[in-house]
Amino acid sequence: MENNKTLENLMEAFAGESQANRKYLAYSKKAQKEGKKNAAKLFQAASDAEALHAQKHFEVAGKINSTIENLKDAVEGENHEYQSMYPEFLKIAEQEGNDAAIRTFTMALKAEEVHARLYKEALENIEQEEEVFYYLCPVCGNIEEFVPDKCSICGVQGVKFIKY
């Protein structure tokens, strides 16, 4: 798709719908914790609807390519996050003395570095037929190819990792 206002609008809509998806998912989890089941279900349904919108906008914008191209794009994105974006965010959070932001940025930075490595490995092994399983730390977003005793980033017990 050539660079035009519609493409800009599709990408802005993708960003907005993606953020709404994550926001409503967070709201759903909070409502669930508070025992507000109906609100939790509504937020979950809306979160899923926003994800559908975001995915369609991204597709129509022509941003989904071959798996090889998508892996290359993912490596580039993760590299940017852990090499440039989060170090700058950390510097500012440290200057402002925001310990909670420092913790969340540090965990994300370390996890994004792992993600970049895993995407590179997937790209290098794109023709591999042997099935690989991934395990997600539900606290910091670290991904492993085995269940660790504890997360190397945040220390959560490996039994809490989610298998993919």
Tell me, what amino acid is at 163? K
Backbone angles phi, psi at 138, to 5 degrees: -75, 0
pLDDT band (50, 70, 90) for residue 158: very high
pLDDT band (50, 70, 90) for residue 3: low
Residue 64 has a pLDDT of 98
Domains in the chain, please, with CATH? 5-60 (1.20.1260.10), 65-128 (1.20.1260.10), 133-164 (2.20.28)
Share of the chain above pLDDT 70, in %: 98
| C-alpha angle 77-156-35 in degrees, rounded to nearest 5 | 95
* Burial per residue of 106-137, b for 16 or more beta-carbon CB atoms within 10 angstroms, e otherwise: bbbbbbbbbbbebbbebeeeeeeeeeeeebbb
- Judged against a pLDDT cut of 90, whether residue 2 lies above it is answered with no
- Judged against a pLDDT cut of 80, whether residue 1 lies above it is answered with no
CB atoms within 10 A of CB 86: 22
Backbone angles phi, psi at 97, to 5 degrees: 70, 30
Tell me, what amino acid is at 59? E
The answer to whether residues 156 and 140 touch, using CB atoms and an 8 Å cutoff, is: yes
Share of the chain above pLDDT 90, in %: 98
Residue 43 has a pLDDT of 98
At 77-133, the pLDDT tens digits run: 999 999 999 999 999 999 999 999 999 999 999 999 999 999 999 999 999 999 999
pTM here is 0.89
